[in-house]
Structure 1
């Protein structure tokens, strides 16, 4: 079945609302979002390599850095938040390299952009990508044994990743859309995303270190990203296909 067929508006002709008070447009948008999300989750389970590669990269960096720093616990405790966030940024970049490439090659991406609710379809894709990036959150518990941290310090780091990883995932998705189909896409993706990710990186480190204002600013960045980046990514994808 073509992808567009799975996103057809479920509203019957002439019906203005659905049971429960939802309008036909709202119900169709919600159906498109859920259909796209289910597809992304199926692909994530079927093609685990990208998610596991990013998770393995994150884990490897966190495990090897203490060896490079000589195993000095006072130093490791100081650099632990920065190490976690640097590894997380690079891992999300790695997991975003082929975010749209397969669908561009088989024509699914064009069908998605022609769907009745393309922003909802893209929202499902971004949500699936964000859930894949969320695998880094439990893996950050490796900081405790490798960096000599007390368990009481992990909730602050987990909060920083919870607020910051969705913004990083959306920034990387935007970079992947802008570099879609270009040669050397990985290098271009890094050049585009890394400068934009610096505020998220700094505020994430501040949140993990317990700075009181940092989580609020990180949350504000997340709200701004949710409001702006899906639209911008959709426009970039359409521009790339023109």
Structure 2
């Protein structure tokens, strides 16, 4: 995440106005790439060592297990991105309001990306080279999160209210957190058969 963000000033030049203008897109795409790299192994190791079948046999519903795994994955991959956000804001010359909106978009957007990607991860868990297929499945689903998160950050950079964009991100998170565990559980049942 941090490496991608630090490479952009080297490629486009050190102009502060240009960096501030493209910062929303840079940050959201870097967050998507960082979460996609780690998502591929969300269920693969459990499937390979047989613990996924054991989790399916528990008296706990499989969607609850999926919800716990996605939240644990977010705690390991999404929270560090939020903790790095002050450094990123400093690197890209953002003001305090822009940094707060960036932290909120990462707080709402990274778990939404995890929940949106979880069914694709469940479908590709048993495949040898499922990363390419996972990217093809997940990238179209992540576009709304990227659009609204970048729009919120863009509005913040112009000192406009970003509440509407953040509300849409919250709705995307609520919807994906509600529906994704059931779709992922069905995908995992298909992958284990």
TM-score normalised by L of structure 2? 0.91
Instruction: Compute the displacement of 1:206 (Å).
Output: 1.4
User: Which sections of structure 1, spanning at least 5 residues, go unmatched?
Assistant: 1-57
Does residue 232 (structure 1) correspond to residue 183 (structure 2)? The answer is: yes
State the match for 1:9 in structure 2: none
The alignment covers a number of residue pairs equal to 185
* 2:28 counterpart residue number: 85
Please give the alpha-carbon distance, in whole angstroms, between the structure 2 residues aligned to 1:110 and 1:102: 12
SS in 1 for 2:84: helix
Q: Which has the higher contact order (CA 8 A, sep 6+)?
A: 2
Contact 2:119 2:180 in 1 (8 A): yes
Query: Do the aligned partners of 1:200 and 1:221 also contact (CA within 8 Å) in 2?
Result: yes
Q: Which runs of 4+ in 1 moved over 3 A?
A: none
The offset of 1:231, in angstroms, is 0.5
Cα root mean square deviation, aligned: 1.2
Inter-partner Cα distance in structure 1 for 2:128 and 2:68: 27
Larger Rg: 1
Query: Is 2:6 the partner of 1:68?
Result: no
TM-aligned CA deviation for residue 119 of structure 1: 2.3
State the distance in 1 between where 2:128 and 2:190 align. Answer: 17
TM-score calculated relative to the size of structure 1: 0.73
Which deviations, in whole Å up to 9, do the C-alpha atoms of 1:171-192 show, x marking residues without a partner? 2222211111113211111100
The runs of 5 or more residues in structure 2 that have no matched partner are 156-161
Give the structure with the larger helix fraction.
2
